[in-house]
Structure formats: C-alpha cells, structure tokens
Amino acid sequence: MKILIINGYEKHVDSNGQLNATLFSRYIEQLKNNNDIKISNIEDYQRTDEINKWLWADTVLIQFPIYWFNMPGKLKSYFDDIFAYGIFYGLDYSIYGQGGKLQGKRFALSTTWNAPENVFNVPDSFFSGKSLEDVLLPAIKTMEFVGIEPLQPQYLVSFHDVVHNPDIDKYLHDQQEFIEKSFK
C-alpha cells in the first residue's frame, strides 16, 4: 500500500505538540515496514510536491489535534492550497459532491482531543448527542468531495482528554489496534 502520512499539527501557544509528534512518528515507524510511505508536514511543504504525493498515494492518513472543535487553521489552509481545481475536483455537479477526481483512494483521520470521550453520543452532554463523526463532518466531507472514501474497516481513531487526564499507554495501545485493524 502507498500511504501518505500527514502531520497536521500547527504550532499553538497552549500546546507543544508532543503527543501529536509521538503518534505521527509511530504511524511512520509501524507502517513503513509493509508499505511504501511518504510524509508531509503542514508547517513546511511545497504545493507541487504535495499534489504529487496525493496523486501517488492509495491511502492518506492525517494525524492532527483538534483546536476549538475543528482541524487546525493551517491544515484547512493546506487543503485550500493543494486541492487544485481540475486535479482534485471539477465542475461536474450533476450530483453535488460526487465529482472528485481521486476516486479509488482512501483516507483515515487520527485526532487528539482535550474533550473526554464520554461527551460524545450522549444526549445531555456538551455535544448534544453528536458522534465524533458528526463533529468532524467538515473534514470527512472535504475528503469525500475530492473523491476519497473512508478507509475500511475503520477510518477514524481519536485520543481523548489529552491535557487534563492523559493516558499515553492507552493511546499507544489504541493506535496499534487501529493500525492492525485498518492497515494490515
């Protein structure tokens, strides 16, 4: 499998990015043995190189922290920059959102949250019963708009309560399970 692994961490005054860097590095280490790997970093990239990496990859894995219930601003800007008209999508809107040009590729999202896991899918919680997928819908639909489908059997892994109650051993265990389930 040809995998593009993207580090979606953006420097932040309240975060040193240590967990994100650990998870990103472990993805590279774990996946490089049985796959062809390329890596990217949203803090330092060249547009043409990135476009070519996306065209090359079978699967795109993006590791990023959640800032204010969304992807970091530089990750959004990265998509705005590299998702080139005519290469990633076109004007065939006969069925809106299904004209992406990267058909046959898969994506996976790996996210870190300060929000505890137990606030999702609970009607009277902060997210009003919304699932993780509901909250990440803009990122998911961005991928689908350019034609990339979710990796199966699992395309989303998340690590919760990372500031107030971190559990690095659990995160690394969950990451390993995700890799074994979806990439092996």
What confidence score (pLDDT) does residue 15 get? 73
In the chain, how long is the greatest CA-to-CA distance? 48
DSSP secondary structure string for all residues of 29-81: HHHTTTSEEEEEETTS--HHHHHHHHHH-SEEEEEEE-BTTB--HHHHHHHHH
Tell me what the mean pLDDT of segment 68-84 comes to: 95
Q: How far apart are CA 61 and CA 18, in angstroms?
A: 18
What confidence score (pLDDT) does residue 174 get? 96
Q: How many CB atoms lie within 10 A of CB 98?
A: 12
Cα 65 to its chain centre, rounded Å, is: 9
Q: How far apart are CA 54 and CA 56, in angstroms?
A: 5
Higher-confidence residue of 96 and 77: namely: 77
What confidence score (pLDDT) does residue 11 get? 82
| Residue-wise pLDDT tens digits, 36-72 | 999 999 999 999 999 999 999 999 999 999 998 999 9
What confidence score (pLDDT) does residue 125 get? 87
What confidence score (pLDDT) does residue 96 get? 80
What is the distance in angstroms between the CA of the first residue and the CA of the last residue of the chain? 10
| Residue-wise pLDDT tens digits, 82-135 | 999 999 998 766 778 777 999 999 999 999 999 999 999 999 889 889 999 999
Specify whether the CB–CB gap between 97 and 141 falls below 8 A. Answer: yes
What confidence score (pLDDT) does residue 81 get? 96
Specify whether the CB–CB gap between 102 and 79 falls below 8 A. Answer: no
Tell me what the mean pLDDT of segment 24-38 comes to: 96
- Which residues, at least 6 apart from 60, have a Cβ–Cβ distance to it below 8 Å? 3, 4, 6, 54, 105, 106, 107, 108, 143, 148
